[in-house]
Amino acid sequence: MTDFMQLIWNETLKIYLRVSTWILLIFLVVFSPLMLVLMNLGDFPFGAQQAIEQSFAMYFLVILFSLIIASDSVAGEFATGTIKLLLIRPWQRWKILASKFLSVALFTLVLTLLFLLVVTVMGYILFPSSSSSLFGEGESNLFLLVLYNYIRALMLAAFAFMLSALFRSTALAITLAILLYFAGNIITPLLQAFLQPKDYWFVKVFLPANLDLTQYMKDPNGMFGVTSLGWSLLVLAVYFVVFVLIAWWSFTKRDVRA
């Protein structure tokens, strides 16, 4: 097991030794509080807790940056040809793939925690008139908010990771993953507005409609009133397994010709 940790450490170094990763991190720190600043300028009468929750609108930065790293994880090695040196080590391919995905999941977690840290600090600075403390009544809400957002980021990262292994092209994987993310964000409200209730079976299995688990913080039956937290988690789990299987097949069974 220690050996496998070494693989994850290798993959983690591949992410953090690049200048581009640090540009993303700096970008995240600078732009995460944008929402807070705007709310502050607009003189919104928020307490710190409320302001922090509102600023999760900026969490899409974390998702975008995760997608970028996930898309490059496998495809980048094919593009540079380093995959050939990576796969001739005494490690079965699925273990290398697993270490890659775990490093992406960890990177997404780091981005999430960094985001949380920045918006919390800035939230308390810009909205000092906190009526409720961070450790008060609303604590579980913030925890769930972070957890649900992280799950969404992880699902999308898994999708990008699968595309990366499947197409072996970073550009294609990034493009398709971001397309799914934004298309989902646009289509879901449209469905909500125009879909006939008899066709609601569709949203039950439609990935983007199940991605945002924060909908259950407002309504236990979800935005369409036909799903539940448990149902959405099940749907996400099924999609996740499919993504993993496709990535696994693509990475372990196909010839390397790069």
User: What are the residues binding other proteins (CB under 8 A)?
Assistant: 3, 6-7, 9-10, 13-14, 17-19, 80-82, 84-85, 87-92, 253, 255-257
For residue 95, give the 3-state DSSP assignment.
helix
Nearer to other proteins, 144 or 256 (CB): 256
How far apart are CB 90 and other proteins at their closest, in Å?
A: 4
Nearer to other proteins, 84 or 237 (CB): 84
Nearer to other proteins, 95 or 204 (CB): 95
How far apart are CB 41 and other proteins at their closest, in Å?
A: 39
Nearer to other proteins, 1 or 17 (CB): 17
Nearer to other proteins, 106 or 256 (CB): 256
35-45 core/surface letters (b: 16 or more CB in 10 A; e: else): bbeebbeeeee
> DSSP letter string over 142-153?
HHHHHHHHHHHH
| Encoded tokens for 112 | 């999430």
Please identify which residue in the block is written with the tokens 């493009």.
175
User: What value, to the nearest 5°, has the Cα angle with vertex 125 and ends 119 and 130?
Assistant: 90
How far apart are CB 102 and other proteins at their closest, in Å?
A: 15
How far apart are CB 82 and other proteins at their closest, in Å?
A: 5
Q: Which of 21, 15, 22 is nearest to 74 (CA)?
A: 15
How far apart are CB 170 and other proteins at their closest, in Å?
A: 15
DSSP for residue 256:
-
Please identify which residue in the block is written with the tokens 């975008």.
64
Q: Rounded to the nearest 10 degrees, what angle do helices 60-80 and 19-31 cross at?
A: 170
